Amino acid sequence: MKKIFFSLMMVALLVLTACASPTGVGPTQPSFSDQVATIVAATMQVLPTNTPILTPQPTGESIVVAFVKNGDIHVWDSAIQQSELVFNADDANMVTISGDGQLIAFFRRWVDSKQCEQRALWVVERNGENAREIVSPAELRDFLDATECDLATASIDKIEWLPQTHRLVYSLISDHEHSSPQGIYLSDADTLATTMLVSTDHSLQFVPSPDGSQIALMATTGLSFINVDGSNWRQNVLTYPKKGVPIPLIPNGVWTQDGRAFLIAAPNESESMFALNFTIMRVPLDGSNSQSLAIITNTDIDSVTFSPDGRSVAFADYSYQGKDQFDRRWAIIPLAGDGEPFAIPYRADFGEGANVHWSPVSVPYAVSYVANEQNLFQLCPDAGQSSDICDSVNAGYARYSAIQWMDGKRFLFLTGSPSVLFLGSVDHTTMPVVAWSLEDGGGFSAVLLAPNK
Protein backbone atom coordinates (compact mmCIF):
# COMPACT_ATOMS: atom_id res chain seq x y z
CA MET A 1 0.00 0.00 0.00
CA LYS A 2 2.90 2.36 0.76
CA LYS A 3 4.37 1.70 -2.68
CA ILE A 4 1.02 2.47 -4.31
CA PHE A 5 0.67 5.71 -2.37
CA PHE A 6 4.23 6.74 -3.29
CA SER A 7 3.50 6.04 -6.98
CA LEU A 8 0.32 8.09 -6.80
CA MET A 9 2.20 10.94 -5.19
CA MET A 10 4.79 10.92 -7.98
CA VAL A 11 2.10 10.88 -10.68
CA ALA A 12 0.23 13.69 -8.95
CA LEU A 13 3.44 15.73 -8.78
CA LEU A 14 3.88 15.32 -12.53
CA VAL A 15 0.25 16.17 -13.29
CA LEU A 16 0.22 19.26 -11.11
CA THR A 17 3.68 20.74 -11.69
CA ALA A 18 2.34 23.30 -14.15
CA CYS A 19 -0.19 24.50 -11.60
CA ALA A 20 2.43 25.05 -8.92
CA SER A 21 3.62 28.39 -10.27
CA PRO A 22 1.52 31.50 -11.02
CA THR A 23 0.14 31.65 -14.56
CA GLY A 24 -0.48 35.35 -14.65
CA VAL A 25 -4.21 34.68 -15.12
CA GLY A 26 -6.75 35.21 -12.37
CA PRO A 27 -6.36 34.98 -8.60
CA THR A 28 -3.73 32.97 -6.70
CA GLN A 29 -4.27 29.23 -7.05
CA PRO A 30 -4.45 26.76 -4.14
CA SER A 31 -1.05 25.79 -2.76
CA PHE A 32 0.90 23.06 -4.50
CA SER A 33 0.62 20.74 -1.50
CA ASP A 34 -3.16 21.27 -1.37
CA GLN A 35 -3.50 20.38 -5.06
CA VAL A 36 -1.38 17.24 -4.63
CA ALA A 37 -3.43 16.17 -1.63
CA THR A 38 -6.70 16.72 -3.51
CA ILE A 39 -5.88 14.61 -6.55
CA VAL A 40 -4.18 11.85 -4.53
CA ALA A 41 -7.12 11.61 -2.10
CA ALA A 42 -9.61 11.40 -4.97
CA THR A 43 -7.48 8.91 -6.86
CA MET A 44 -7.05 6.63 -3.85
CA GLN A 45 -10.82 6.28 -3.62
CA VAL A 46 -11.34 5.03 -7.17
CA LEU A 47 -8.05 3.58 -8.40
CA PRO A 48 -7.89 -0.17 -7.71
CA THR A 49 -4.76 -1.17 -5.82
CA ASN A 50 -3.79 -3.71 -8.50
CA THR A 51 -3.76 -1.13 -11.32
CA PRO A 52 -0.25 -0.29 -12.62
CA ILE A 53 0.66 3.39 -12.81
CA LEU A 54 1.45 4.72 -16.28
CA THR A 55 5.08 5.86 -16.39
CA PRO A 56 6.28 8.76 -18.59
CA GLN A 57 7.27 7.60 -22.06
CA PRO A 58 7.51 9.31 -25.47
CA THR A 59 4.63 8.82 -27.87
CA GLY A 60 4.06 9.80 -31.50
CA GLU A 61 0.85 11.80 -31.05
CA SER A 62 0.00 13.73 -27.92
CA ILE A 63 -3.39 13.92 -26.25
CA VAL A 64 -4.50 17.45 -25.39
CA VAL A 65 -7.35 17.73 -22.89
CA ALA A 66 -9.30 20.90 -22.15
CA PHE A 67 -11.36 20.84 -18.98
CA VAL A 68 -13.36 23.10 -16.68
CA LYS A 69 -12.45 23.22 -13.00
CA ASN A 70 -13.81 25.77 -10.49
CA GLY A 71 -15.35 27.59 -13.45
CA ASP A 72 -11.95 28.08 -15.14
CA ILE A 73 -10.42 26.63 -18.32
CA HIS A 74 -7.42 24.30 -17.98
CA VAL A 75 -5.36 22.32 -20.50
CA TRP A 76 -3.45 19.05 -19.96
CA ASP A 77 -0.93 17.71 -22.49
CA SER A 78 0.17 14.07 -22.46
CA ALA A 79 3.49 15.01 -24.09
CA ILE A 80 4.60 16.79 -20.91
CA GLN A 81 2.02 15.21 -18.56
CA GLN A 82 1.20 18.56 -17.00
CA SER A 83 -1.84 20.82 -16.82
CA GLU A 84 -2.09 24.59 -16.67
CA LEU A 85 -4.76 27.20 -16.08
CA VAL A 86 -5.21 29.05 -19.37
CA PHE A 87 -8.24 31.26 -18.70
CA ASN A 88 -9.77 32.44 -15.43
CA ALA A 89 -13.45 32.51 -16.38
CA ASP A 90 -14.97 31.76 -12.94
CA ASP A 91 -18.32 30.87 -14.57
CA ALA A 92 -17.60 28.33 -17.35
CA ASN A 93 -19.60 25.10 -17.27
CA MET A 94 -18.94 23.45 -20.64
CA VAL A 95 -15.88 23.11 -22.88
CA THR A 96 -14.97 21.82 -26.34
CA ILE A 97 -11.60 21.97 -28.12
CA SER A 98 -11.22 22.39 -31.90
CA GLY A 99 -9.88 19.55 -34.01
CA ASP A 100 -6.55 21.32 -34.57
CA GLY A 101 -6.22 21.90 -30.83
CA GLN A 102 -5.86 25.68 -31.23
CA LEU A 103 -9.19 26.99 -29.88
CA ILE A 104 -11.30 26.18 -26.83
CA ALA A 105 -14.98 27.11 -26.83
CA PHE A 106 -16.87 27.32 -23.55
CA PHE A 107 -20.32 28.28 -22.28
CA ARG A 108 -20.58 30.83 -19.46
CA ARG A 109 -23.41 31.36 -16.93
CA TRP A 110 -23.66 34.14 -14.33
CA VAL A 111 -26.22 36.21 -12.43
CA ASP A 112 -26.25 39.94 -13.11
CA SER A 113 -27.07 42.83 -10.77
CA LYS A 114 -30.79 42.40 -11.52
CA GLN A 115 -30.60 38.76 -10.39
CA CYS A 116 -31.18 37.59 -13.97
CA GLU A 117 -29.13 34.63 -15.15
CA GLN A 118 -27.08 35.44 -18.22
CA ARG A 119 -25.46 32.99 -20.61
CA ALA A 120 -22.96 33.40 -23.43
CA LEU A 121 -20.67 31.40 -25.73
CA TRP A 122 -16.96 32.30 -25.63
CA VAL A 123 -13.73 31.07 -27.19
CA VAL A 124 -10.08 31.35 -26.15
CA GLU A 125 -6.84 30.21 -27.76
CA ARG A 126 -5.15 27.20 -26.20
CA ASN A 127 -2.37 29.38 -24.79
CA GLY A 128 -4.97 31.53 -23.00
CA GLU A 129 -4.75 34.51 -25.36
CA ASN A 130 -7.43 36.40 -27.31
CA ALA A 131 -10.49 35.39 -25.28
CA ARG A 132 -13.63 36.69 -26.99
CA GLU A 133 -17.38 36.40 -26.86
CA ILE A 134 -18.94 34.59 -29.83
CA VAL A 135 -22.62 34.70 -28.87
CA SER A 136 -23.76 37.29 -26.33
CA PRO A 137 -26.69 37.00 -23.90
CA ALA A 138 -28.61 39.48 -26.06
CA GLU A 139 -28.08 37.33 -29.16
CA LEU A 140 -29.26 34.22 -27.32
CA ARG A 141 -32.38 36.10 -26.27
CA ASP A 142 -32.99 37.06 -29.89
CA PHE A 143 -32.65 33.42 -30.98
CA LEU A 144 -35.36 32.44 -28.50
CA ASP A 145 -37.47 35.61 -28.70
CA ALA A 146 -37.05 35.90 -24.93
CA THR A 147 -37.05 38.76 -22.44
CA GLU A 148 -33.97 39.49 -20.38
CA CYS A 149 -34.69 37.14 -17.49
CA ASP A 150 -36.23 34.44 -19.68
CA LEU A 151 -32.75 33.44 -20.76
CA ALA A 152 -32.45 31.32 -17.63
CA THR A 153 -34.61 28.72 -19.37
CA ALA A 154 -32.23 28.21 -22.32
CA SER A 155 -28.88 26.50 -22.75
CA ILE A 156 -26.76 24.89 -25.45
CA ASP A 157 -27.86 21.29 -26.00
CA LYS A 158 -25.11 20.05 -28.31
CA ILE A 159 -22.08 21.81 -29.76
CA GLU A 160 -19.44 20.57 -32.22
CA TRP A 161 -16.55 22.02 -34.18
CA LEU A 162 -17.01 21.51 -37.90
CA PRO A 163 -14.15 19.28 -39.13
CA GLN A 164 -11.00 21.15 -40.19
CA THR A 165 -12.49 24.57 -39.34
CA HIS A 166 -12.87 27.10 -36.54
CA ARG A 167 -16.64 27.09 -36.93
CA LEU A 168 -19.05 25.79 -34.30
CA VAL A 169 -22.44 24.24 -34.97
CA TYR A 170 -24.87 23.96 -32.06
CA SER A 171 -28.49 23.65 -30.96
CA LEU A 172 -30.34 25.14 -28.00
CA ILE A 173 -32.50 23.54 -25.33
CA SER A 174 -34.78 24.69 -22.53
CA ASP A 175 -33.93 23.90 -18.92
CA HIS A 176 -37.53 22.84 -18.37
CA GLU A 177 -38.38 19.17 -17.98
CA HIS A 178 -39.39 17.23 -21.11
CA SER A 179 -37.73 19.72 -23.47
CA SER A 180 -36.18 18.96 -26.87
CA PRO A 181 -33.30 20.59 -28.80
CA GLN A 182 -34.30 23.65 -30.79
CA GLY A 183 -32.80 25.17 -33.94
CA ILE A 184 -29.35 24.82 -35.51
CA TYR A 185 -26.83 27.69 -35.45
CA LEU A 186 -23.34 28.19 -36.90
CA SER A 187 -20.75 30.55 -35.39
CA ASP A 188 -17.30 31.39 -36.77
CA ALA A 189 -14.77 31.73 -33.94
CA ASP A 190 -12.40 33.77 -36.14
CA THR A 191 -14.82 36.29 -37.67
CA LEU A 192 -17.41 36.10 -34.81
CA ALA A 193 -20.19 35.84 -37.42
CA THR A 194 -23.24 33.77 -36.45
CA THR A 195 -25.76 32.24 -38.87
CA MET A 196 -29.09 30.61 -38.14
CA LEU A 197 -29.28 27.44 -40.24
CA VAL A 198 -32.62 26.21 -38.86
CA SER A 199 -34.97 28.26 -36.67
CA THR A 200 -35.99 27.31 -33.13
CA ASP A 201 -39.41 26.32 -34.51
CA HIS A 202 -37.77 23.01 -35.39
CA SER A 203 -36.68 20.32 -32.92
CA LEU A 204 -33.63 18.55 -34.35
CA GLN A 205 -30.48 16.60 -33.68
CA PHE A 206 -27.54 17.15 -36.04
CA VAL A 207 -24.40 15.35 -37.24
CA PRO A 208 -21.85 17.17 -39.47
CA SER A 209 -20.35 15.22 -42.37
CA PRO A 210 -16.66 14.20 -42.15
CA ASP A 211 -15.61 16.93 -44.61
CA GLY A 212 -17.75 19.58 -42.89
CA SER A 213 -19.75 20.43 -46.01
CA GLN A 214 -23.08 18.85 -45.01
CA ILE A 215 -25.18 18.45 -41.89
CA ALA A 216 -27.59 15.58 -41.29
CA LEU A 217 -30.71 16.81 -39.48
CA MET A 218 -32.81 14.30 -37.57
CA ALA A 219 -36.32 15.24 -36.44
CA THR A 220 -39.03 13.18 -34.74
CA THR A 221 -40.50 12.08 -38.10
CA GLY A 222 -37.83 12.51 -40.76
CA LEU A 223 -34.18 12.80 -41.83
CA SER A 224 -33.01 15.84 -43.81
CA PHE A 225 -29.74 17.18 -45.21
CA ILE A 226 -28.58 20.78 -45.44
CA ASN A 227 -25.45 22.45 -46.78
CA VAL A 228 -23.27 23.94 -44.07
CA ASP A 229 -23.98 27.45 -45.40
CA GLY A 230 -27.72 26.89 -44.85
CA SER A 231 -28.56 26.33 -48.52
CA ASN A 232 -30.17 23.33 -50.23
CA TRP A 233 -32.24 22.06 -47.31
CA ARG A 234 -33.47 18.66 -48.50
CA GLN A 235 -36.29 17.93 -46.08
CA ASN A 236 -37.61 14.48 -45.20
CA VAL A 237 -35.42 12.40 -47.51
CA LEU A 238 -36.47 9.57 -45.19
CA THR A 239 -39.59 9.52 -43.01
CA TYR A 240 -40.58 7.34 -40.05
CA PRO A 241 -43.29 7.26 -37.35
CA LYS A 242 -43.08 9.47 -34.26
CA LYS A 243 -42.25 7.42 -31.18
CA GLY A 244 -41.40 7.94 -27.51
CA VAL A 245 -43.12 9.29 -24.38
CA PRO A 246 -43.32 11.77 -22.78
CA ILE A 247 -40.77 13.34 -25.17
CA PRO A 248 -40.93 12.15 -28.79
CA LEU A 249 -37.55 10.57 -29.53
CA ILE A 250 -35.12 11.89 -32.10
CA PRO A 251 -33.06 9.14 -33.77
CA ASN A 252 -29.28 9.10 -34.03
CA GLY A 253 -26.94 8.02 -36.77
CA VAL A 254 -23.48 8.19 -38.35
CA TRP A 255 -21.95 9.26 -41.66
CA THR A 256 -19.88 6.98 -43.84
CA GLN A 257 -16.23 8.08 -43.85
CA ASP A 258 -16.49 9.25 -47.46
CA GLY A 259 -19.55 11.38 -46.64
CA ARG A 260 -21.62 9.78 -49.42
CA ALA A 261 -24.32 8.35 -47.12
CA PHE A 262 -25.82 8.58 -43.66
CA LEU A 263 -26.92 5.65 -41.50
CA ILE A 264 -29.87 6.24 -39.19
CA ALA A 265 -31.70 4.07 -36.66
CA ALA A 266 -35.21 4.88 -37.89
CA PRO A 267 -38.15 3.99 -35.59
CA ASN A 268 -40.64 1.29 -36.58
CA GLU A 269 -44.07 0.51 -35.22
CA SER A 270 -43.89 -1.11 -31.78
CA GLU A 271 -46.40 -2.47 -29.28
CA SER A 272 -44.41 -1.07 -26.34
CA MET A 273 -43.90 2.62 -25.64
CA PHE A 274 -40.66 1.89 -23.78
CA ALA A 275 -38.74 -0.78 -25.75
CA LEU A 276 -38.94 0.21 -29.41
CA ASN A 277 -38.06 -1.27 -32.80
CA PHE A 278 -35.72 0.33 -35.34
CA THR A 279 -34.50 -0.23 -38.88
CA ILE A 280 -30.91 0.70 -39.67
CA MET A 281 -31.23 2.60 -42.95
CA ARG A 282 -28.43 3.69 -45.28
CA VAL A 283 -29.53 6.97 -46.88
CA PRO A 284 -27.37 8.18 -49.81
CA LEU A 285 -26.61 11.89 -50.00
CA ASP A 286 -27.23 11.96 -53.78
CA GLY A 287 -30.93 11.14 -53.40
CA SER A 288 -30.76 7.56 -54.64
CA ASN A 289 -32.76 4.80 -52.95
CA SER A 290 -32.23 4.08 -49.26
CA GLN A 291 -31.25 0.59 -48.13
CA SER A 292 -32.21 -1.41 -45.03
CA LEU A 293 -29.12 -2.88 -43.35
CA ALA A 294 -30.59 -4.40 -40.16
CA ILE A 295 -33.68 -4.52 -37.95
CA ILE A 296 -33.29 -4.26 -34.19
CA THR A 297 -36.15 -4.81 -31.75
CA ASN A 298 -37.02 -4.10 -28.12
CA THR A 299 -34.37 -1.46 -27.54
CA ASP A 300 -33.85 2.26 -26.88
CA ILE A 301 -32.28 4.75 -29.26
CA ASP A 302 -29.51 5.88 -26.91
CA SER A 303 -28.07 2.36 -26.78
CA VAL A 304 -27.45 2.01 -30.53
CA THR A 305 -23.77 2.14 -31.57
CA PHE A 306 -21.93 1.36 -34.82
CA SER A 307 -18.54 -0.25 -35.48
CA PRO A 308 -16.06 1.94 -37.39
CA ASP A 309 -15.49 -0.77 -40.01
CA GLY A 310 -19.18 -0.61 -40.92
CA ARG A 311 -19.85 -4.28 -40.25
CA SER A 312 -21.78 -4.30 -36.95
CA VAL A 313 -24.35 -2.54 -34.81
CA ALA A 314 -24.81 -2.97 -31.04
CA PHE A 315 -27.88 -2.23 -28.93
CA ALA A 316 -29.57 -2.98 -25.61
CA ASP A 317 -31.98 -5.88 -26.10
CA TYR A 318 -34.90 -5.74 -23.66
CA SER A 319 -36.93 -8.88 -23.07
CA TYR A 320 -40.44 -8.16 -21.80
CA GLN A 321 -41.28 -9.71 -18.40
CA GLY A 322 -44.79 -8.28 -18.00
CA LYS A 323 -46.17 -5.20 -16.22
CA ASP A 324 -43.64 -2.95 -18.02
CA GLN A 325 -40.74 -4.96 -16.57
CA PHE A 326 -37.78 -5.76 -18.82
CA ASP A 327 -34.53 -7.70 -18.63
CA ARG A 328 -31.67 -6.18 -20.58
CA ARG A 329 -28.74 -7.70 -22.42
CA TRP A 330 -26.43 -6.12 -24.97
CA ALA A 331 -26.45 -7.62 -28.45
CA ILE A 332 -24.20 -7.18 -31.50
CA ILE A 333 -25.51 -8.09 -34.95
CA PRO A 334 -24.02 -7.76 -38.46
CA LEU A 335 -25.06 -5.10 -40.95
CA ALA A 336 -25.98 -6.12 -44.49
CA GLY A 337 -23.41 -5.55 -47.23
CA ASP A 338 -19.65 -5.77 -47.34
CA GLY A 339 -19.10 -2.98 -44.83
CA GLU A 340 -17.83 0.54 -45.40
CA PRO A 341 -15.95 2.69 -42.87
CA PHE A 342 -18.11 4.89 -40.62
CA ALA A 343 -17.20 8.23 -39.05
CA ILE A 344 -18.33 7.20 -35.58
CA PRO A 345 -17.94 9.26 -32.39
CA TYR A 346 -15.32 7.77 -30.08
CA ARG A 347 -16.80 9.19 -26.89
CA ALA A 348 -19.50 7.30 -25.00
CA ASP A 349 -21.41 8.40 -21.89
CA PHE A 350 -22.60 5.58 -19.68
CA GLY A 351 -25.57 4.86 -17.51
CA GLU A 352 -25.82 1.76 -15.36
CA GLY A 353 -25.11 -1.58 -16.96
CA ALA A 354 -22.98 -2.51 -19.97
CA ASN A 355 -22.47 -0.24 -22.94
CA VAL A 356 -20.98 -1.76 -26.10
CA HIS A 357 -18.76 0.49 -28.22
CA TRP A 358 -15.67 0.21 -30.44
CA SER A 359 -12.15 1.59 -30.42
CA PRO A 360 -10.88 3.35 -33.58
CA VAL A 361 -9.45 0.02 -34.79
CA SER A 362 -12.89 -1.67 -34.55
CA VAL A 363 -12.16 -3.70 -31.40
CA PRO A 364 -15.41 -4.05 -29.38
CA TYR A 365 -15.53 -3.12 -25.67
CA ALA A 366 -18.20 -3.07 -22.99
CA VAL A 367 -18.60 -1.53 -19.55
CA SER A 368 -20.45 -3.73 -17.08
CA TYR A 369 -20.99 -4.35 -13.40
CA VAL A 370 -19.19 -7.18 -11.61
CA ALA A 371 -19.59 -7.46 -7.83
CA ASN A 372 -20.86 -3.87 -7.52
CA GLU A 373 -17.88 -2.50 -9.43
CA GLN A 374 -17.64 -1.39 -13.05
CA ASN A 375 -15.18 -3.00 -15.41
CA LEU A 376 -14.04 -2.27 -18.97
CA PHE A 377 -13.90 -5.50 -20.96
CA GLN A 378 -12.49 -6.18 -24.40
CA LEU A 379 -14.96 -8.36 -26.30
CA CYS A 380 -13.99 -11.14 -28.66
CA PRO A 381 -13.73 -10.27 -32.38
CA ASP A 382 -16.85 -12.31 -33.25
CA ALA A 383 -18.81 -11.29 -30.12
CA GLY A 384 -22.58 -11.45 -30.39
CA GLN A 385 -23.26 -10.02 -26.94
CA SER A 386 -21.49 -8.15 -24.14
CA SER A 387 -20.80 -11.37 -22.23
CA ASP A 388 -18.45 -12.63 -24.99
CA ILE A 389 -15.34 -11.36 -23.17
CA CYS A 390 -11.74 -11.93 -24.23
CA ASP A 391 -9.91 -9.62 -21.80
CA SER A 392 -10.41 -7.23 -18.88
CA VAL A 393 -8.79 -3.85 -19.55
CA ASN A 394 -9.65 -1.83 -16.41
CA ALA A 395 -11.38 -3.27 -13.37
CA GLY A 396 -12.66 -2.26 -9.97
CA TYR A 397 -13.79 1.34 -10.46
CA ALA A 398 -16.78 2.72 -8.60
CA ARG A 399 -18.51 4.08 -11.71
CA TYR A 400 -17.63 4.92 -15.30
CA SER A 401 -19.26 8.18 -16.42
CA ALA A 402 -17.69 8.49 -19.88
CA ILE A 403 -14.94 7.08 -22.06
CA GLN A 404 -13.22 8.60 -25.09
CA TRP A 405 -10.94 6.55 -27.30
CA MET A 406 -7.97 8.56 -28.61
CA ASP A 407 -6.35 5.85 -30.75
CA GLY A 408 -6.28 2.06 -30.90
CA LYS A 409 -4.52 1.77 -27.53
CA ARG A 410 -5.16 4.88 -25.43
CA PHE A 411 -8.40 6.21 -24.00
CA LEU A 412 -9.62 8.74 -21.46
CA PHE A 413 -12.20 7.62 -18.93
CA LEU A 414 -14.14 9.54 -16.33
CA THR A 415 -15.23 8.00 -13.05
CA GLY A 416 -17.77 9.25 -10.53
CA SER A 417 -17.92 9.73 -6.77
CA PRO A 418 -15.57 11.58 -6.97
CA SER A 419 -15.10 12.59 -10.60
CA VAL A 420 -11.58 11.72 -11.75
CA LEU A 421 -10.35 11.75 -15.34
CA PHE A 422 -7.80 9.05 -16.17
CA LEU A 423 -5.64 8.27 -19.18
CA GLY A 424 -5.84 4.52 -19.69
CA SER A 425 -4.28 2.04 -22.08
CA VAL A 426 -5.14 -1.44 -23.32
CA ASP A 427 -1.87 -2.59 -21.74
CA HIS A 428 -3.62 -2.15 -18.36
CA THR A 429 -1.79 1.02 -17.31
CA THR A 430 -3.57 4.06 -15.87
CA MET A 431 -2.69 7.67 -15.09
CA PRO A 432 -4.87 10.23 -13.24
CA VAL A 433 -5.19 13.50 -15.17
CA VAL A 434 -7.47 15.65 -13.00
CA ALA A 435 -9.90 15.26 -10.10
CA TRP A 436 -13.04 17.32 -9.57
CA SER A 437 -15.12 18.01 -6.50
CA LEU A 438 -18.72 16.81 -6.50
CA GLU A 439 -19.84 20.38 -7.20
CA ASP A 440 -17.59 20.74 -10.26
CA GLY A 441 -18.73 17.66 -12.13
CA GLY A 442 -16.24 16.54 -14.77
CA GLY A 443 -16.46 18.42 -18.07
CA PHE A 444 -13.66 17.69 -20.56
CA SER A 445 -12.88 17.65 -24.28
CA ALA A 446 -9.85 16.06 -25.94
CA VAL A 447 -8.05 15.87 -29.29
CA LEU A 448 -5.14 13.87 -30.68
CA LEU A 449 -2.38 16.03 -32.15
CA ALA A 450 0.78 15.35 -34.12
CA PRO A 451 4.07 16.40 -32.43
CA ASN A 452 4.79 20.14 -32.19
CA LYS A 453 1.18 21.20 -32.84
d(Cα 344, Cα 310) in Å, to the nearest integer? 10
- Report yes or no: 398 and 386 within 8 Å, Cβ to Cβ: no
Q: Report the candidate in 251, 122, 137 with the shortest Cα–Cα distance to residue 189.
A: 122
d(Cα 120, Cα 108) in Å, to the nearest integer? 5
Summarize pLDDT for 272-283 with one digit per residue, the tens: 666 689 999 999
Highest mean pLDDT among 57-61, 357-361, 365-369, 428-432: 357-361
Beta-carbon contacts of 191 under 8 Å, excluding residues fewer than 6 positions away, are none
pLDDT over threshold 80, residue 10: no
CATH 2.40.128.660 range(s) for the chain read: 89-203
Q: Count how many residues are written for the chain.
A: 453
Per-residue model confidence (pLDDT) at position 31: 44
Summarize pLDDT for 77-129 with one digit per residue, the tens: 999 999 999 999 999 989 999 999 999 999 998 888 888 888 899 999 999 99
Q: pLDDT tier at 146 (50, 70, 90 boundaries)?
A: confident
Return the amino acid letter for 420: V
What number is the average pLDDT over the span 264-270? 88
pLDDT over threshold 80, residue 347: yes
Beta-carbon contacts of 228 under 8 Å, excluding residues fewer than 6 positions away, are 162, 167, 169, 186, 197, 208, 212, 213, 214, 215
pLDDT over threshold 60, residue 345: yes
pLDDT over threshold 90, residue 27: no
pTM higher than 0.95: no
Task: Report which of residues 320 and 238 the model is more confident about.
Answer: 238
pLDDT over threshold 80, residue 269: no
Beta-carbon contacts of 429 under 8 Å, excluding residues fewer than 6 positions away, are 51, 52, 53, 54, 55
Q: Report the candidate in 207, 201, 202, 238 with the shortest Cα–Cα distance to residue 221.
A: 238
The pLDDT > 90 percentage for the chain reads: 54
Q: pLDDT tier at 11 (50, 70, 90 boundaries)?
A: very low
What number is the average pLDDT over the span 301-318? 93
Q: pLDDT tier at 150 (50, 70, 90 boundaries)?
A: low
What number is the average pLDDT over the span 275-300? 93
Q: Which CATH architecture has domain 89-203?
A: Beta Barrel (2.40)
Q: Are strands 205-208 and 194-198 parallel, antiparallel or unpaired?
A: unpaired
Mean pLDDT of all residues belonging to the chain? 83
What number is the average pLDDT over the span 338-356? 84
d(Cα 99, Cα 82) in Å, to the nearest integer? 20
pLDDT over threshold 50, residue 305: yes
pLDDT over threshold 50, residue 239: yes
pLDDT over threshold 70, residue 391: yes
Per-residue model confidence (pLDDT) at position 399: 76
